[in-house]
Structures are given as structure tokens and as C-alpha cells.
Amino acid sequence: MASRTIENYLKQLWLEQQDTRGKYVPMGKLAALVGVTAGTATTMVKAIADSGLAKYAPRAGVRLTKAGEQLALHVLRRHRLLELFLVEVLGIDWSDAHGEAEELEHVISETVLARIDSLLGHPSVDPHGDPIPSSAGKFETLELCSLAELNTGNATVIERIVDQSSEFLRFAQSSGLVPRAQVVIEHTNPQAGAISARPAGKEPVMLSMVAAAKFLVRPCNARRGKRRNRRPVPPVSP
Amino acid sequence: MASRTIENYLKQLWLEQQDTRGKYVPMGKLAALVGVTAGTATTMVKAIADSGLAKYAPRAGVRLTKAGEQLALHVLRRHRLLELFLVEVLGIDWSDAHGEAEELEHVISETVLARIDSLLGHPSVDPHGDPIPSSAGKFETLELCSLAELNTGNATVIERIVDQSSEFLRFAQSSGLVPRAQVVIEHTNPQAGAISARPAGKEPVMLSMVAAAKFLVRPCNARRGKRRNRRPVPPVSP
DNA sequence: TTATTTATTTTGATTACTCAAAGTACATGG
DNA sequence: CCATGTACTTTGAGTAATCAAAATAAATAA
Ligand SMILES: [Mn+2]
Ligand SMILES: [Mn+2]
Ligand SMILES: [Mn+2]
Ligand SMILES: [Mn+2]
């Protein structure tokens, strides 16, 4: 069994290598994500590679093997099911669930996880709209675009929020910008780099393009003029 | 914050020193309970003593200080609330709950614990009938006697079971000898060192005195003739 | 191309926990 | 009062994870 330290490395690696088909994750990046020095990451990655869970290319970076991906997906499944459980069953605040799950994901047994899963009705997304991998390690992502890509007058439903920081989540919740909320784009101002979005039954909210890009929505009908190459897979978060 | 290793030492120490007012717990005993060699226990206990959580007397043993007791009681509270939660909310098997809680007790946050506590309605005993310390670290024990101390014809209610091993718990459950179950003593045979107990609506069960002593009951009216000094506090289990 | 900056790796040390085995204290029983 | 066995402590060594700082490689700028 992988230690909790290694589980964390694997999960961060998976999240990071998701969008970069085939590219290696640089050591510095991984170190920052896990929260250790680069030297520590190098040492750990070599150990992980020795156990067959990753491929390590000195001075280039690291990438999970199939085995490593499977293990990472199981950790991710535990994490996201736990997040949903904490929010839905225990009433833990949305913005705190992530931190709690970060610890629990390493100690929960398969038995308990299975009970949680069935208690929640085998859900497919966590409280942030992030997809939950199946127990077989299968993982599906919807094609979504973000609030930043919509024009004035468009109406959509928020499906997913790709920022786990409690501050941002608290802001999102207090504005009414939560998964499953209907939203209308009131104004777009490309010059100012900002838009105004109004969640159904709430006050309009000003969002910078950076902030707007964190809200993934559906349907994604009307595209802004300049867009040509839609991003293939949205950035993924724990 | 105490590491999970130290939390385990503290909890075992507390359970062990409960009934022995003032006596020191010998190193060998503690080592066996925690599952390490005697040398390891000695080293750890010296560290624990240095941090003020226990008093260590070489060649005599170790005893928790007030501070150590408080910490131990918080771990015990987490353990027992989790056991009840696993059984009541998640439907985990009675006999598995202990092992699961043994891990979870070290990672659950105060916030999550408080939610669990209120979800369960601030319970006072865990699934084995063991009392749950209050969040302030207060701890109450009922005066109970055991099935082994009753005479033929006596009827009582099982309040508590003082053996956490899954095998014993599975046996107890399948026999109907669970907390809150009504039981009648059908026969006592001091010569054979065995009794026969019949749970309401179930078949009678043969129990050795050792096994019978693991079921604590109430009311405790009729005492066997030979008993004079009733045990002050019953043995405690995690 | 050479020099400088930046990213990465290596080295040496530290902390927490553990065991095996050697050494020491002590109760006990002759 | 010595001899011995048992319980306990000490010692030496190992594993997992970490950091700070020195060494190295690669990318970039001059
Ligand atoms: Mn984690
Ligand atoms: Mn999430
Ligand atoms: Mn434990
Ligand atoms: Mn218990």
C-alpha cells in the first residue's frame, strides 16, 4: 500500500498531467503542489518511479504510469466522495470540505467508502462539480466552457468551479455562483477585462476574466467572436 | 499536537490505568497493548514524559498526568463517537467499527466531530455500551456487574460489552447478546464454570465464566453468595 | 561563443518511529 | 545470601520523509 505521502504525490501528479497529453511534469511544479522543497520531490519521485508508479526523466520531469494513474484515481475518488459526504450528510461548509477530505482520503477503508457511495446514491460529481472517478478507476469529463467565453445576454447553468481555495468558494457561495445555479450574462466589457453575471434571484456580480474562467457552464452555445480553438479538457481540481 | 503514535500510547495508557487507582502501568503491558517491543515503549514513554503528559518511573512503570488524561479522553471521545457513527449512520458492521475508528480517530477534525456528535443527538455510549467522554473531557461510568455474577432465574438488561475483538462481537451479535437486550439466566453451574443465558426471543447460550464476565448488566440486584468486594470500576475497553 | 541565470540534483543532516540484541536491575527461591 | 529468570533499559542500526546548502546541467542573455 502506498503511504499517504506517496498518495498525495500521485494525486497532484495526476491533476497536473491531465491537460498536458504526454508532457512531463517538472519537478519544481510538483514540489510546489505537494508543498515540499524541490530536492525532496526529486528524491521521492525517484522512489515512486522505482516502484513502477511513474516514469522519471532527470531534468525533464515525471509522468505517471498506467499503474500510477489508477492509484491516483482511487485517491481522487476517495477525496471527492468524501467532500460530497461531508457537505451533504454532515453539513460541513462547502469551503472547508476540501481541507477535511485532504486528510480523510488516506485513512478511509474500502468498506466505509462503499457505504458512503451508496448512501449518496453513487453520485457522479462532487460539491464543486468535479467528476468522481468510478470504483474501477474510470473517469469522464464533460466538455464545458467557462463564463468568460459567453456573450452579453447568454443564459447558462454553472456545472463546475475550478478553484478549491476556501476564500474563493466563500465568495462564490455568497454571490450565488454555485453548481446548478442559473446565470445570465448582463454585460461584457472586453476592454476592462470584466463581465457582470446575474445568478437567478440574486444581485449581479462583477467578475474579472480570470475569475469568470473558474466557472464552467453548460450549455455552451454562443461563443465570443475571437474564440477558435476551444480548450480540449478543462483544468482539473482536487 | 500529539502525533497519532502518541495518541495511541495515551489512549491505551488511559484504558489501562483506569481501574488501578494510582498504580503505574508496567512497560511490558503498555508495549503489548500498543503493539511494539518493550524497548520502543520505553523510549516513547520517556519522550511522552518529557512533554509533560505522563510520569515515568524507571523499572516501575508509567502513569498519565492530568494533561495526559485530558488528551487521552479526547482521543477516546473521537474513537467512540466515530464507532457509533459508523454503525448508526453508515451501517458498518458492529464488529468492524472498532478497527475503522482506530484509524479515523487521529484525523477527524473538531468541526467534523461536532457535526457527528449533534447528528447522533449527543449520545452517551458507543455501540458496545462504553461511555463517551464529554467534549470537556468529563467521563462517567455506571456501576455495573456482569452476567457471571448473577444467579439462576435472574433477569437483566445488557448494558455494555468489554471485548472489542471482532470474533467475540460477531459471536455476541449472532447469539443476541447485544447492548439493551433483555437476558434471563437459565442455569448456573459453578462446578463446570459455566452458565446458560437466554436473550429475549432467542435460544439459550452457554457461556464460560470468562465469557460471561464480558457482559455487563443492569439492574444488578441479586448477587451470588460468595461475592463480597464488588469490583469498584469495571474494566474499560476502547 | 562565453557568461549568467534558473531549474534540478546531490549531499549531509535531522526528526519520528521502530526493532534486535546486549546489558542491567530485581524479585524469588533455594 | 548467592543464583537465576524475568522485566526492563540501553545501544546500535534502519526506514520514511524532510530541509538547507552545495554542485551541476540547461536555458538564456550578452
Ligand atoms: Mn491528502
Ligand atoms: Mn473537489
Ligand atoms: Mn488509533
Ligand atoms: Mn468501543
Q: How far apart are CA B208 and CA B215, in angstroms?
A: 12
Question: What's the pLDDT band for A36 if we cut at 50, 70, 90?
Answer: very high
CB proximity list for A103: less than 8 A, separation 6 or greater: B107, B109
Centre of ligand 1 from the C-alpha of residue A28, in Å:
19
Show the cell assigned to A191. 476592454
Could you tell me if A46 and A72 are in contact, meaning their C-beta atoms sit under 8 angstroms apart? no
Query: Look-up: residue for cell 510538483?
Result: A30
Q: For residue A151, what pLDDT is reported? A: 82
Most confident of A4-8, A142-146, A198-202, B136-140: A4-8
The size of chain A, in residues, is: 238
Write down which residues 58-77 in B have CB closer than 7 A to strand C: 59
Confidence (pLDDT) at A165: 86
* pLDDT surpasses 90 at A41: yes
In strand D, the nucleotides that come within 7 Å of a protein beta carbon are 7-12, 16-22, 25-26
Residue B185: strand pairing partners: B197
List chain A residues with CB under 8 Å of B116: 90
Question: Which nucleotide in the DNA or RNA is closest to residue A44, CA to C1'?
Answer: D17
Orientation angle between helical segments B38-50 and B4-17, nearest 10 degrees:
100
Q: Is A70 contained in some domain?
A: no
Q: CB distance from B32 to chain A under 8 Å?
A: no
> Hey, which residues 107-146 in chain B have their CB within 8 Å of chain A?
107-109, 111-112, 115-116, 119
Mean pLDDT across A173-195: 90
**Closest by Cβ to A115, choosing from B92, B108, B115:** B92
Q: Is B86 on the interface with A (CB under 8 A)?
A: yes
Are the beta carbons of B222 and B152 closer than 8 angstroms? no
Q: Is the pLDDT confidence value at A226 over 50?
A: no
CATH number of the domain bearing residue B196: 2.30.30.90
Q: What is the DSSP letter of A106?
A: T
The pLDDT of residue A227 is: 37
By Cβ distance, the residue of B100, B103, B115 closest to A92 is B115
Those nucleotides of strand C lying less than 7 Å from any protein Cβ are 7-12, 16-22, 25-26
Query: Could you tell me which residues come within 8 angstroms of residue B28 by beta carbon, excluding any fewer than 6 positions away?
Result: B38
β-strands A61-64, A54-57 pairing: antiparallel
Global pTM exceeds 0.85: yes
Query: What tens digit of pLDDT does each residue of A54-86 get?
Result: 999 999 999 999 999 999 999 999 999 999 999
Among candidate residues B142, B152, B210, the one with its CA nearest the CA of residue B183: B152
Question: Which residues in chain B have their CB less than 8 angstroms from residue A119's CB?
Answer: 90
Cα–Cα distance, B107 to B133 (Å, whole number): 18
Helices and strands per DSSP (H, E), number in chain A: 8, 8
By the CB < 8 Å criterion, does B88 face chain A? no
Instruction: State whether the beta carbon of B43 lies below 7 angstroms from any atom of strand C.
Output: yes
Question: Among A14, A39, A64, where does a domain finish?
Answer: A64
- Residue A56 inside a domain? The answer is yes
Ligand 3 center from residue A105 Cα (angstroms): 16
The span from the CA of B60 to the CA of B125, in Å, is: 34
Contact criterion met (CB < 8 Å) for A107 and B104: yes
Query: Could you tell me if residue A30 is inside a domain?
Result: yes
Please give chain B's pLDDT, 238 residues, in tens: 899 999 999 999 999 999 888 899 999 999 999 999 999 999 999 999 999 999 999 999 999 999 999 999 999 999 999 999 999 999 999 889 999 999 999 999 999 999 999 999 999 999 999 999 999 999 888 888 888 888 888 889 999 999 888 888 898 899 999 999 999 999 888 888 889 999 999 899 998 888 988 999 987 664 444 333 333 344 445 6
C-alpha cell at A69: 494513474
Q: To which H or E segment does residue A61 belong?
A: strand A61-64
Please give the pLDDT value at position A19. 82
A199 domain residue, yes or no: yes
CB A148 within 8 A of CB A193: no
**Rounded Cα–Cα distance for residues B5 and A233 (Å):** 43
A148 CA from C8 C1′ (Å): 37
* Three-class SS state of A177: coil
A38 touches strand C (CB under 7 A): yes
Which residue range(s) make up the domain with B192?
145-218
Residue B212 falls inside a structural domain: yes
Q: Which of A209, A214, A211, A238 is nearest to A226 (CA)?
A: A209
**pLDDT value of residue B150:** 82
Instruction: Select the more confidently predicted residue: B149 or A181.
Output: A181
Kind plus residue range of the DSSP H or E element containing A119? helix A110-119
Overall number of domains in chain B: 2
User: Would you say residue B46 lies in a domain?
Assistant: yes
Q: Is the pLDDT of residue A225 over 90?
A: no
| pLDDT on residue B221 | 60
The residue that leads in pLDDT, B45 or A231, is B45
Q: Please give the residue that has the higher pLDDT: either B95 or A237.
A: B95
What is the CA(B143)–ligand 4 centre distance, in A?
Answer: 18
Rounded Cα distance, A11 and A48, in Å = 13
On chain B, the residues whose CB falls within 8 A of the CB of A89 are 89, 119
Residue B194 lies in a domain: yes
CB–CB of B104 and A103 under 8 A? no
Contacts of B68 (CB under 8 A, 6+ apart): B10, B13, B14, B48, B52, B53, B54
Q: What is the CATH number of the domain that holds A30?
A: 1.10.10.10
- Give the span between the Cα atoms of B145 and B99, in whole angstroms: 27
CA A24, CA B99: separation in Å to the nearest integer? 40
- Which H, E and C letters describe chain B, residue by residue? CCCHHHHHHHHHHHHHHCCCCCCCECHHHHHHHHCCCHHHHHHHHHHHHHCCCEEEECCCEEEECHHHHHHHHHHHHHHHHHHHHHHHCCCCCHHHHHHHHHHHCCCCCHHHHHHHHHHCCCCCECCCCCECCCCCCCCCCCCCEEHHHCCCCCEEEEEEECCCCHHHHHHHHHHCCCCCCEEEEEEEECCCCEEEEEECCCCCEEEEHHHHCCEEEECCCCCCCCCCCCCCCCCCCC
Protein-to-nucleotide distance from the CA of A38 to the C1' of C5, whole angstroms: 18
pLDDT at B233: 40
C-alpha of residue B168 to centroid of ligand 3, in Å: 20
Helix (H, G, I), strand (E, B) or coil at A158: strand
pLDDT at B237: 58
Does the residue A8 lie in any domain?
yes
Asked which of B25, B48, B64 is the last residue of a domain, the reply is: B64
Closest CA to A24 of A66, A59, A69, A63: A63
Residue nearest to nucleotide C11 (CA to C1'): A39
Read off the pLDDT of each residue in A136-160 and give the average, rounded to a whole number: 87
